[in-house]
Structure 1
């Protein structure tokens, strides 16, 4: 065919497909997230089963601390200049510090302020007592063996320190009002720590329920007698007797657990009261 003729020109186009053998892997990410979540769930279940009430409270406090963890910040310049994070003026140059109460110092009184400031001061002072007693941010003043018997909680009434029997260890000998050595140890530490503040104190004794075979079990006398023994222990350890304004025995009428016969219901409640505004 001569040049310049009207012949048909055919153009072939190749279709290029990118990512040949790859078919996506988003499901792997989702599966990894699922496995991680399940691992965290089973670890939580194991911790709930393998720890005591006090240990669980300590774990919870670790993840939501109310005071700085370390007494002294890191060395160096700037934000890590080595300042004491417990000073009132500075928290490593980046915030307001908190003063750690010092045993033997002048008692903290909330009546130096009024209104909301006084309430905040009371709460802060009671939290400081709780932190020192349980050793948050450092070692506890109470031995590990004795600390198993102690739980604390801050309420509208004040700081409640609850001491309770364990299945393998009691605060008193048998069904008597004679305290064991661990009760004396805890009382000694509380008397020392309570010197930080000037709040009044209430003491309550409670007992676990007995079967009908113990119909004549003197629950009122024993619960009140145990509260009285705690009063004597605190005063013997140096606590001002005038600060204890009430002792009471609750018998077996206020169980702490659903099963009223459990040893956990044999307990003392030492309440560091909030001061009246």
Structure 2
């Protein structure tokens, strides 16, 4: 009898490529992310300061107090977050808001201010020297214009020459070229906030004239005439700290009291310390008399181009008040 039952053949499809699905990729990505986070935490722990570590610890112990009181970030470039006293859940966390005040050393502030001031005066000196070199009229008298930095500021000395006096004989009338020198300097001197002192000097030759008028009166009158010329050049009158006559008591050339260079006008752009001394405050000293054979001084560094000097002077003019205010606190 014939068997008509159908024959069923099962064929099993084998995976020749060995593909097991994409689950392993997700697991590997999670592992890589975890490792990256681990090394990031290790880097933060090695580079963070003790204060930052304390802030991080406080954040994880009491996130509510930290997020409500300050920055929502555990580490902020603007400062470390601190817990809010009225919202913190952990009373043992130290309130970081009561940080200790940083004491500013008064001597350090004064030293920084003096350094800035000296650099500013050196720039003024170089600008004045550049102006003398650039101006053909002033260049003719550059041997009579002396510059130096002293402990009390920038000293500008304009001295007499044998055949080229600054004033008419025995009077306080300015010669035209001397007036031009003062007018040219006024624009540069007023670029700094420092006050100035103006002093007049004569040689040892006695003044021949009225009995009640001598070298003391003559030197004071000449210093005041120089002040008027600077004011005419745009310099503020309130920036003049002192106008004084020394007669022949502080000779430029002590070996030759009758040397024409002893007849001179001194303009000192004062430091703040010297200004306070003049105004009766504590500190500062009287400007010393020039040494015998004194020569024009200058900045020790290489001279800057004229344009760069003027640019830096403008910067100092804007920033000087900040140091003055800091030093007065």
What's 1:270 paired with? 267
Question: Aligned equivalents of 2:132 and 2:243: distance in 1?
Answer: 32
Q: How far apart are 1:185 and its partner, in Å?
A: 1.0
Report the secondary structure of 1:148's partner residue.
Answer: helix
Deviations, residues 194-249 of structure 1 (Å, cap 9, x unaligned): 12201011100000011698895610111000000011000011001100011000
Which of these residues, 221, 225, 244, is aligned with residue 217 of structure 2?
221
Which of these residues, 142, 147, 164, is aligned with residue 169 of structure 1?
164
Matches within 5 A, 1:65-104: none
1:149 aligns with 2:144: yes
Q: Residue 207 of structure 2 contacts residue 214 of structure 2 at CA under 8 Å; is this kept in 1?
A: no
Structure 1 residue runs without a partner (length 5+): 1-112
1:259 aligns with 2:256: yes
What's 2:244 paired with? 248
Aligned-residue CA RMSD (Å): 2.5
1:206 aligns with 2:201: yes
Deviations, residues 238-276 of structure 1 (Å, cap 9, x unaligned): 001100011000011111111101111000000100124
Q: Residue 133 of structure 1 contacts residue 140 of structure 1 at CA under 8 Å; is this kept in 2?
A: no
Deviations, residues 49-102 of structure 1 (Å, cap 9, x unaligned): xxxxxxxxxxxxxxxxxxxxxxxxxxxxxxxxxxxxxxxxxxxxxxxxxxxxxx
CA pair 249-213 structure 1, distance change in 2 beyond 3 A: closer
CA pair 138-180 structure 1, distance change in 2 beyond 3 A: closer
Q: Structure 2-normalised TM-score?
A: 0.47
Report the secondary structure of 1:190's partner residue.
Answer: helix
CA pair 115-184 structure 1, distance change in 2 beyond 3 A: same
**Which protein has the larger Cα radius of gyration, Structure 1 or Structure 2?**
2
Report the secondary structure of 2:272's partner residue.
Answer: coil
Q: Which one has a larger percent helix, Structure 1 or Structure 2?
A: 2
What's 1:110 paired with? none
Q: How far apart are 1:146 and its partner, in Å?
A: 2.6
Deviations, residues 143-164 of structure 1 (Å, cap 9, x unaligned): 2123221101101111110011
Segments of 4+ moved more than 6 angstroms: 212-215
Question: Aligned equivalents of 1:118 and 1:142: distance in 2?
Answer: 36
Structure 2 residue runs without a partner (length 5+): 1-107, 274-326
What's 2:155 paired with? 160
Report the secondary structure of 2:154's partner residue.
Answer: strand
Which of these residues, 204, 209, 233, is aligned with residue 237 of structure 1?
233
Deviations, residues 99-158 of structure 1 (Å, cap 9, x unaligned): xxxxxxxxxxxxxx9332211110111001110101189735862123221101101111
1:189 aligns with 2:184: yes
What's 1:132 paired with? 127
CA pair 198-269 structure 1, distance change in 2 beyond 3 A: same
Q: Structure 1-normalised TM-score?
A: 0.55
Which of these residues, 120, 144, 160, is aligned with residue 115 of structure 2?
120
Question: Aligned equivalents of 1:127 and 1:275: distance in 2?
Answer: 15
